[in-house]
Amino acid sequence: MTQINTLVLCMDTPLKSSELARFRGAVNAVISSHNILFHNHNGQYFRYAYPLIQYKCLAGKAAIVAIGEGVVAMEELFAGTDFSIRLGKRTIALQIESIKAEEVKVSQSIVPIVYQLYDWLPFNEANYEHFLSISRMVERVELLERILTGNILSLFKGLDVFIDFPLHIEIMHYVQKAPVAYKEVKLMRFDVSFMANVPLPNYVGLGRHSSVGAGLLIRKNNNIQY
């Protein structure tokens, strides 16, 4: 059994999803140590592992989700004497609205757990072309299930979590949404309802660009709207 710790820092700061990359840059500008976990690169080196600090738009407001070692790194943000950022042309004094800590014990669940995944970006160039070439709905779902399984295993690998049982994913429903542009490249995105035989932490990201809001994971028993 392995435990995953998360910390969700919700701000009283209105934010659009399109501003998340700027929000990440603004937060990094006030981190004096330039800790690579806050941006996954420090100007010289890239960190290609699963992002342990992620920037979200939750209920229309700015939020930061820290996972594993990222929880400890968050102390550097709290240590700053000036808790304000420069977002575009705006100077914003960040005010904490809520802090949510969660401990998830990773073990095989006998009863499947239902999740909702928002704005999931599953495809690289190769599997995008494969998806378009598939005409049968069943085969498309099977491909998405394989990719989602890989995304969850990447989360575990990034946190040094190793499971000794087969990971089982079943997509119950998905909606293909309008493409979203990242650095002028349009990416196909989905909202997905699925079941898994393992507990996963709330509010973490799965798939591409999870560090800036994509692939937001929510357990279906939450009452908060996004």
Q: Alpha-carbon distance 79 to 81, whole Å?
A: 6
Query: Is pLDDT above 60 for 89?
Result: yes
The token pair at 201 is 């932490």
pLDDT at 49: 82
pLDDT at 182: 80
Are the CB atoms for 133 and 214 separated by under 8 Å?
no
The answer to whether residue 88 scores a pLDDT higher than 80 is no
Condensed to tens digits (0 to 9), the pLDDT of residues 166-211 reads: 999 999 999 999 988 887 788 999 999 999 999 999 999 999 999 9
Q: What is the pLDDT of residue 225?
A: 41
Q: For residue 45, what pLDDT is reported?
A: 62
Model confidence at 143: pLDDT above 70: yes
Question: Mean pLDDT, to the nearest integer, of 64-83?
Answer: 81
In angstroms, the CA 5 to CA 175 distance is 30
Stronger pLDDT, 6 or 25, i.e. the higher one: 6
Q: Residue 84: what pLDDT?
A: 78
Using left for φ > 0, alpha for ψ between -120 and 50, and beta otherwise, residue 189 falls in: beta
| Residue percentage of the chain with pLDDT more than 90 | 61
3-class DSSP assignment, residue 216: strand
Nearest to 67 by CA among 77, 53, 55: 53
